[in-house]
Amino acid sequence: MQLRITTYNIHKGFSQFNRHMMVHELRDRLRALDSDIVFLQEVQGLHLGHAEQFDHWPVQPQHEFLAQDVWHSTAYGRNMIYDHGHHGNAILSRYPIAHSHNQDVTHLRFERRGLLHSTIRVPGWSQPLHCVCAHLSLFGRSRRLQMEALAVRLEKLIPPDAPLIIAGDFNDWRNRAHNHLAERLGLAEVFVGRGGRPARSYPAHLPLLCLDRIYVRGLGVATTEVHQGPPWSGISDHAALSASLFPE
Mean pLDDT of the 39-48 span: 91
Q: What is the pLDDT of residues 151-168, one digit of tens each?
A: 999 999 999 999 999 999
Position 154 scores a pLDDT of 96
Q: Please state, rounded to an integer, the average pLDDT across all residues of the chain.
A: 93
pLDDT single digits (tens) 70-108: 999 999 999 887 888 888 999 999 999 999 999 999 988
* Percent of the chain's residues with pLDDT above 70: 98
Predicted confidence at residue 195, as pLDDT, reads: 58
> What is the C-alpha to C-alpha distance for residues 220 and 79, in angstroms, rounded to an integer?
31
Q: Are 213 and 225 in contact (CB under 8 A)?
A: no
**What pLDDT digit, counting tens, does each position of 189-198 carry?**
999 976 578 9
**pTM (predicted TM-score):** 0.95
Q: What is the mean pLDDT of residues 120-138?
A: 96
Residue 225 and residue 242 in contact, taking contact as beta carbons nearer than 8 Å: yes
* Confidence bin at 109 (pLDDT 50/70/90): confident
Return the bridge partners of 245, or none: 3, 221
Write out pLDDT tens, residues 15-26. Answer: 887 778 899 999
The predicted structure's pLDDT at residue 179: 85
Using CA atoms, how far apart are residues 113 and 139, in angstroms rounded to an integer? 12
Are the C-beta atoms of 42 and 75 separated by less than 8 Å? no
Of the CATH numbers 3.60.10.10, 1.20.1070.10, 2.40.50.140, 3.10.180.10, which one belongs to the domain with range 3-247? 3.60.10.10
> Across the strands, what pairs with 90?
40, 76
The pLDDT value given to residue 53: 83
Domain boundaries, the chain: 3-247
